[in-house]
Amino acid sequence: MSLLGTRNHIDCADVVPVAPFRCMSYLRQEEIVKRDMNLALAILKTLEENKSPHLSEFDIESALKDAFDVSNRGVWYQLNLLADANLVRSMGSDWRLTWDGHEFLKSAVPNTFEDT
């Protein structure tokens, strides 16, 4: 079916993106589909405990590399999920905690997300 053939009906099977998820092509499969609450909490704590008001993805990855086996793109993915929840905000290539992010950490119980 041609997309130009009818005005009222477009079959989604006929529409194929040229390069789906190009920005995620460097993620390992498990990083694409999973929200990692332990990593998310560690990212939030790293941002809060740092002396600088904001950090780059690479700084965050470096701070967490011993505790987590995650790529920079995996950190990027988790940061974007945290941004969706309004817990962090992007500042160009850097990230900072939002008010909600600080409040979330204040209310989080230690070890809340172990074994999740």
User: For residue 89, is it within any domain?
Assistant: yes
pLDDT by residue (tens digit) across 102-113?
999 999 866 555
Total of domains in the chain: 1
| pLDDT grade for 8, boundaries at 50, 70 and 90 | very low
Instruction: For residue 79, give the CATH number of its domain.
Output: 1.10.10.10
Report how far residue 93's alpha carbon sits from residue 102's, in angstroms, rounded to the nearest whole number: 20
Looking at residue 112, its pLDDT comes to 58
Burial (CB count within 10 angstroms: exposed 0-12, middle 13-18, buried 19+), residue 17: exposed
Structural domain boundaries enclosing 48? 28-107
User: For residue 5, is it within any domain?
Assistant: no
User: For residue 4, is it within any domain?
Assistant: no
pTM of the full structure: 0.67
User: For residue 8, is it within any domain?
Assistant: no
Looking at residue 68, its pLDDT comes to 87
pLDDT by residue (tens digit) across 33-79?
678 899 999 999 999 999 888 999 899 999 998 898 877 788 888 99
